[in-house]
Amino acid sequence: MKKPKLKHLKHPLRSAESLLNIFLTSINEYRLNAQFKNIPRVIRSKCWCGGKLIDYDMHNSYGVCVDCQTYVNKCPPDDSKLSEIYGLDKYWNDRQRFGGHPTIEKRGDLYRVDGRLDKWVEMVSQYGPQSGVVIEVGCAPGVMLKALEAKGYECIGVEANIEVVNWLRQNLQLNVHQGIFPEISLPKANLFLSFDVLEHSMDPIGFINGVSQHLAAGGVAIIQTAIDRYDQAPPFGEQFEKIFDDVEHTYIYTDDAIRQLIVKTDLQLISLDHRTSLAGEIIVIKKP
């Protein structure tokens, strides 16, 4: 005798599971939004380039520069709080988890699986020196520096929060310095790396000038940041809310904005042709 198939129970169970997932997602979204709700903020009325801002109807926290079309966070966190925001627990554990991302322990596995790590190593092979000193700003979870260390590079990492620095030192035995770039003392490098960091910088001109100051002659910088070059509304499609994050992202660039930024330095733009994914566009620049 065949066992009866209890189809009438399956759908309610799935519905309950779906409702539970929606409930848990809502809780995480609330936690994500509330986490830094009371953090001190500053008011910005102009773009990094000095251009005036017009209102941006898709996100009230951002304005659009009339000159370079950069999206500007009009009320970003006070930069004195950056070390607190990007802490081991608040950022790498809680904020990442609330946002549906792996914690620091698992983030490296994601970079291996989704191809980001392979693409970064490929970019170094194509554009960078074959040896020398490497600086990576925002180096957590540390997998890129470990990959280059295995190839014989002398690797130096930078992180804003001392707990993150200690985690990288203890778990990956990396040489990591604590500080906010470029306000940190570092040696000259042959290769400068920064992935998904420029959009967090409060002073992009200072950041890129810092890249120039820390590169030896002939050195190369490979920088990944979200660049809006797509005819999409909203920008970056389903990634819109992630990219237009007014806690983390101060400036969201266009190709024209990146070119204007590089022109203000003595660096040479080599390529804007690569990306790891949507909102993972890559800039390659060189120190003459």
The more confident residue out of 7 and 55 is 55
Domains by residue range for the chain, with CATH: 38-286 (3.40.50.150)
Q: What is the pTM of this model?
A: 0.89
The more confident residue out of 263 and 29 is 263
Quick: pLDDT tens for 189-228.
999 999 999 999 999 999 999 999 999 999 999 999 999 9
CB of 259 closer than 8 Å to CB of 207? no
CB of 139 closer than 8 Å to CB of 165? no
* Among candidate residues 105, 81, 84, the one with its CA nearest the CA of residue 93: 105
* Among candidate residues 163, 147, 183, the one with its CA nearest the CA of residue 84: 163
The more confident residue out of 96 and 55 is 55
Tell me the DSSP string of 241-261: HHHS-TTT-SEEB-HHHHHHH
Tell me the DSSP string of 188-224: -EEEEEEES-GGG-S-HHHHHHHHHHHEEEEEEEEEE
Any idea of the CA torsion for 182, 185, 191, 194, to the nearest 10 degrees?
-40
Per-residue model confidence (pLDDT) at position 8: 44
Quick: pLDDT tens for 226-239.
999 999 999 999 99
Quick: pLDDT tens for 86-130.
999 989 998 888 888 899 999 999 999 999 999 999 999 999 999
